[in-house]
Amino acid sequence: MFYPRFFSLSCKSLALLGFAITQVNNVQAQTLQDNTWHGGIAIGGSLASSNTSSQTFNVVANATKASKEDKLGLYSLINYGSNKVNNIKTNTAQLLRLGGRYDYNLSENSFFFGGGELETNKIQNIDSRYAINAGAGFKLIKTDETNFDLFTGIGFSETQFGATIPPSPTSKRGFEFLLGEESTHKISATSSIKQRWTVYPGTGDIGTRSTLDINLATVVANGWTLNAGAALSYTSKPSNNFKSTNSLITFGFGYKY
């Protein structure tokens, strides 16, 4: 079953994130409504060279601009990896995900939203995927320590695959529902964690997909941060019998503004 496996991966990811917590400066969970961009970027990677060579590179970034009337949020995830053996180079990761959402406040605790996402993941045979959606949400918790939102809506997505083996299709498109939640938690004087879990039950042959993103930032000095993250994804109908679940754990150094 997908959900027990997905929650098991989530718990393991949260446990790994806990090791990165230290305490130096102050952070907050509440979104500032000052009509100014706030967010953070974290960069991580590795380079190894011997009889074989390998390299990895990842970037996690987010930005939010909010006022009393509305909010615009943007996010991105980049993960690249390669390995070279006997002068033969093999890519081990090629993931790029860009997305955003605009919220218009209908009341103090409810909002209407419209959003979209672009993704490519060559290792999973996804040449390109785009998704657009719209719906409504509710601000369930809004305190200095925790923000927690629930949202639902409907959208449309199209996925173009790379090399396919019949009867696997070369592309899938269709309407999909949207169910999700996101939150920001102040877990210490210096550390905050953001997470977003979204499920997309689709129509026709596009199946159901889901994404879970978790990011922990700990301020060490003057906005500079230590970061850890987890990105988990699931699709019920992968191309060419690829695995249904994918996971990525990242650690890096960043800046919070």
User: Residue 241: which pLDDT band, with cuts at 50, 70 and 90?
Assistant: confident
Whole-number pLDDT of residue 29: 60
Q: Spell out the residues 6+ positions from residue 228 whose beta carbon is closer than 8 angstroms to its own.
A: 16, 17, 19, 20, 215, 216, 249, 250, 251, 252
Domains of the chain, first to last: 2-208+219-256 (2.40.160)
Percent of the chain with pLDDT over 90: 63
pLDDT per residue as tens digits for the range 174-195? 999 999 999 999 998 899 999 9
Region of 41 (left: φ > 0; alpha: ψ -120 to 50; beta: rest) is: beta
In angstroms, the CA 32 to CA 250 distance is 27
- pLDDT (tens digit per residue) in 137-188: 999 999 989 999 999 999 999 999 988 777 778 889 999 999 999 999 999 8
